[in-house]
């Protein structure tokens, strides 16, 4: 079963918690055991599993990536001005796969799924969620 989740982002760079939306797709699928694949469409976005307790970890992720991959120094910047966004998305990666256990996402208490925006804000981002049964 596959669904696409539409997203609107509001900042140049941000991590958006999409766990509830992914969980809703899982519930609609009716599948109880298997895997859930979460994929960000777009070359300047990514998916990450990260701590959900407060926003400081998400802010630290953005700060770390911005220090390691600064704006304005990449060849691609001459075209679109977003060379850093492409590199950040490539480093983090476009997808995560989570076990589906008894109808629930197999995440720990401190883990959530985040859509990583590196070239926002955007009015239409898409995340493809695929739920695959183990039988």
Domain ranges in the chain are 2-133
pLDDT band at 78 (very low <50, low <70, confident <90, very high): confident
Estimate to the nearest angstrom the gap between the alpha carbon of 118 and the chain centroid.
Answer: 11
Average pLDDT, the chain: 97
Alpha helix locations (H) across 48-108?
A: 55-68, 83-92
Asked if residue 28 has pLDDT above 90, the reply is yes
Query: What fold, for 2-133?
Result: Jelly Rolls (2.60.120)
Asked if residue 122 has pLDDT above 90, the reply is yes
pTM of the model: 0.95
70-87 b/e with 16+ CB inside 10 Å = b?
eeeebeeeeeeebbbbbb
Mean pLDDT score, 89-107? 98
Q: Which residues face 37 on adjacent strands?
A: 97, 130
% helix / strand / coil in the chain, to the nearest 5? 30, 35, 35
């Amino acid at each position: 079963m596959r669904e696409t989740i539409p997203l609107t982002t509001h900042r140049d760079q941000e991590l958006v918690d999409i766990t509830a939306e992914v969980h809703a797709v899982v519930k609609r699928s009716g599948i109880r055991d298997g895997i859930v694949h979460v994929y960000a469409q777009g070359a300047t976005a990514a998916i990450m599993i990260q701590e959900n307790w407060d926003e400081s970890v998400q802010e630290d992720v953005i700060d770390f990536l911005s220090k390691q991959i600064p704006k304005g120094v990449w060849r691609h910047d001459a075209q679109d001005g977003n060379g850093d966004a492409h590199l950040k998305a490539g480093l983090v990666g476009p997808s995560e796969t989570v076990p589906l256990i008894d109808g629930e996402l197999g995440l720990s208490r401190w883990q959530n799924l985040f859509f990583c925006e590196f070239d926002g804000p955007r009015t239409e981002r898409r995340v493809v969620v695929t739920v695959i049964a183990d039988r």
